[in-house]
């Protein structure tokens, strides 16, 4: 328990799961009008025929079977200072300043809480998850932070596996055996996650931009930077190549 708490010491949580057949963190959609992809910092997501939104303290659900006209379905209190929401399979990962929450979407109109993992030290926490491993970043207010690694094989009891020290980490994204973590002024870091529980820093890309979040879109990594966006070619997932920026 003590070890578990230690792992949650920093701010910002991103969880990824590693054996996804899809591109990283995109949400699944079976119907004709596919859902788009969001960065890990988002508060709104679409999963199949439902829109999920988080406010500071609550999760709201809308039915969007008819996409033009959402029908409000439910609200439930989650916690305090909720920051991010991330869909993975039939689960929602919700990050708050002091905890990570996992909800089941077995009943998509009224998600049910499966697990809550408290943090010792509060922070800002995007979350992404894929398969049996989840990665999260936690950012403190002093320019520091960590990348946390969780074993989520038993979704009801996430296990903290360890953490990697980071500089002011923000959003993250995942493709195949690559994990991308934004570090604001320090740029973008790429981890090799061939061994999912032992991420190894593969590349640190400093590109004179402040990087906040990423979306993996096939062979393109879309990066939200200060004042715009940057696009990287990730044909080689471990060696992103900056190909363009949109600023001003």
Half-sphere exposure of 108 (CA within 13 A, CB side): 17
What per-residue string of b and e applies to 145-176 under the rule 16 or more CB within 10 Å gives b?
A: bbbbbbebeebeebebbebbebbbbbbbbbbb
Q: Give the number of other CB atoms < 10 A from CB of residue 77.
A: 10
Among 8, 62, 135, 180, binds another protein (CB under 8 A): 62
Among 72, 80, 106, 204, binds another protein (CB under 8 A): 72
Q: Is 37 in the site for another protein (CB under 8 A)?
A: yes
Q: Is 44 in the site for another protein (CB under 8 A)?
A: yes
Among 22, 34, 141, 165, binds another protein (CB under 8 A): 34
Half-sphere exposure of 51 (CA within 13 A, CB side): 14
Q: Is 39 in the site for another protein (CB under 8 A)?
A: yes
Q: Is 46 in the site for another protein (CB under 8 A)?
A: yes
**Residue (36 or 143) nearer to another protein, CB:** 36
Q: Is 20 in the site for another protein (CB under 8 A)?
A: no
CB 121 within 8 A of CB 163: no
Q: Is 231 in the site for another protein (CB under 8 A)?
A: yes
CB 114 within 8 A of CB 130: no
Q: Is 107 in the site for another protein (CB under 8 A)?
A: no
Q: CA-to-CA distance for 217 and 30, rounded, in angstroms?
A: 18
**Residue (123 or 173) nearer to another protein, CB:** 173
Residue with tokens 């990962």: 93
**Minimal distance in Å, beta carbon 29 to another protein?**
7
Q: Is 202 in the site for another protein (CB under 8 A)?
A: no
From 92-100, 162-170, 188-196, 219-227, span contacting another protein (CB under 8 A): 219-227
CB 153 within 8 A of CB 129: no
**Minimal distance in Å, beta carbon 75 to another protein?**
10
Q: Is 248 in the site for another protein (CB under 8 A)?
A: yes
**Minimal distance in Å, beta carbon 211 to another protein?**
12
Q: Is 120 in the site for another protein (CB under 8 A)?
A: no
Among 25, 51, 94, 166, binds another protein (CB under 8 A): 51
Q: Is 229 in the site for another protein (CB under 8 A)?
A: yes
CB 173 within 8 A of CB 215: yes
Q: CA-to-CA distance for 84 and 93, rounded, in angstroms?
A: 8
Task: Write out the two tokens for 162.
Answer: 């360890």
Chain centroid offset of residue 153 CA:
17
CB 42 within 8 A of CB 84: yes
Contacts to another protein by CB under 8 A: 29, 32-39, 41-46, 51, 53, 55-56, 60, 62, 64, 67-70, 72, 213, 215, 217, 220, 222, 224-229, 231, 233, 243-244, 246-248
């Amino acid at each position: 328990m003590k070890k578990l708490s230690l792992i949650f010491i920093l701010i910002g949580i991103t969880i990824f799961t590693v054996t996804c057949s899809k591109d990283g963190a995109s949400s699944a959609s079976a119907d004709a009008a596919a859902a788009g992809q969001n960065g890990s910092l988002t508060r709104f997501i679409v999963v199949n025929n439902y829109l999920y939104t988080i406010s500071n303290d609550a999760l709201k659900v809308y039915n969007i079977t008819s996409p033009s006209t959402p029908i409000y379905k439910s609200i439930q209190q989650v916690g305090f200072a909720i920051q991010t929401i991330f869909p993975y399979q039939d689960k929602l990962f919700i990050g708050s300043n002091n905890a990570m929450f996992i909800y089941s979407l077995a009943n998509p109109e009224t998600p049910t809480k499966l697990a809550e993992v408290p943090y010792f030290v509060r922070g800002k926490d995007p979350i992404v998850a894929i398969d049996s491993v989840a990665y999260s970043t936690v950012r403190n207010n002093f320019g520091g932070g960590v990348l946390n690694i969780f074993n989520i094989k038993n979704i009801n009891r996430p296990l903290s596996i360890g953490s990697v020290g980071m500089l002011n980490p923000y959003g993250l994204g995942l493709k195949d055996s690559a994990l991308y973590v934004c570090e604001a002024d320090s740029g973008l870091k790429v981890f090799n996650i061939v061994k999912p529980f032992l991420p190894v820093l593969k590349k640190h890309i400093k590109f004179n931009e402040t990087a906040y979040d990423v979306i993996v879109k096939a062979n393109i990594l879309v990066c939200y930077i200060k004042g715009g966006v940057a696009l990287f070619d990730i044909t080689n997932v471990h060696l992103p190549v900056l190909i363009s920026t949109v600023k001003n």
